[in-house]
Amino acid sequence: MANRKERQRFERLMMGHLDGAYNLALWLVREPAEAEDIVQTAYMRAFEHFHTFTGGNAAGWIMTIVRNTAYNWLNKQKRNSNLISFDEVLHSHEPDNRKQLTPEEAVSINARSSQLMEQMERLPVEFREALFLREIEGYSYKEIAEITQVPKGTVMSRLSRGRGQLQNLLLEQQKRRQQNGM
């Protein structure tokens, strides 16, 4: 039966990326239950549109659907709560209003994963996404540009500003810890 063959082919190509898909959703929405739901929805959607997958990078294909589903959810949340979010276009020509750390300061940063994740959550979601795809998944700039549907230059700027802001946040956190004698 054709349906069955399609489903088996889908599972063979896509199920192996479930950990990456779930963690991407988790990094984006930060709520395990929502991330689970988003991945489930994304996989159902992906299967429905499986005919549009013409071979090639299966991981990139499913990741795109997962992140789009996550952004739909985030946009819905934003509408519901009237949150004003970071506007990348508006701010892209301003320097980040954070000072550039000295090399000595930057290299003095030591963060455990939990501390790092705590600060990571304070970054704009687009920066977090780029960092996840680069550092956790190991994608190239070109692949990240395809998954997130932006030019390569935007990927580079997101990564760079994400890392810069993280260093600032981590240093502040570290200073607070030291002040508190921890």
Partner 1 sequence: MVCNEIQQNIEAYLDGELTLSDRRDFEEHLGNCNNCQLRLEAVRKLNTSIKKIGYSSRPSGLKRNIRAGLLDLSGEDSPGFNWSQLLGFSGASALFAGVGVWLVMGVMINSPLQLAHTDELISAHVRSLMVDHMTDIASSDRHTVKPWFNGKLDFSPNVVDFKDHGYPLVGGRLDYLKGRPTAALIYKRRAHVINLFVRKADTPAQITTMQLIQHQGYQLLNWQERGLTYTLVSDLNSKELQAFANKLQP
- When the beta carbons of 149 and 160 are compared against partner 1, the nearer one is 160
* CB of 57 closer than 8 Å to CB of 20: no
Quick one: how far is CA 86 from the chain centroid? 15
| Number of CB atoms found within 10 A of residue 2's CB | 6
- When the beta carbons of 51 and 90 are compared against partner 1, the nearer one is 51
- Token pair of 15 as six digits: 């199920």
* Maximum Cα–Cα distance across the chain: 67
Told to check if 44 binds partner 1 by CB under 8 A, we report yes
DSSP 8-state assignment for residue 107: H
End-to-end C-alpha distance for the chain, whole angstroms: 64
As a whole number of angstroms, the distance between CA 79 and CA 66 comes to: 20
Site string for partner 1, 151-180 (x = CB under 8 A): -----x--xx--x--xx--x----------
Considering only residues 103 through 122, tell me which ones interact with partner 1, judged by CB under 8 A: 103-104, 106-107, 109, 111, 113, 116-117, 120
- When the beta carbons of 6 and 90 are compared against partner 1, the nearer one is 6
- Token pair of 83 as six digits: 């949150």
Contacts of 113 (CB under 8 A, 6+ apart): none
- When the beta carbons of 57 and 116 are compared against partner 1, the nearer one is 116
Tell me the closest approach of the beta carbon of residue 6 to partner 1, in angstroms.
7
The span of 59-67, 87-95, 133-141, 172-180 binding partner 1 (CB under 8 A) equals 133-141
* CB of 36 closer than 8 Å to CB of 22: yes
Q: Which residues bind partner 1 (CB under 8 A)?
A: 1, 3-4, 6-7, 10-11, 15, 18-20, 22-23, 26, 32-33, 36-37, 39-41, 43-45, 47-49, 51-52, 76, 101, 103-104, 106-107, 109, 111, 113, 116-117, 120, 131, 134-136, 140-141, 156, 159-160, 163, 166-167, 170
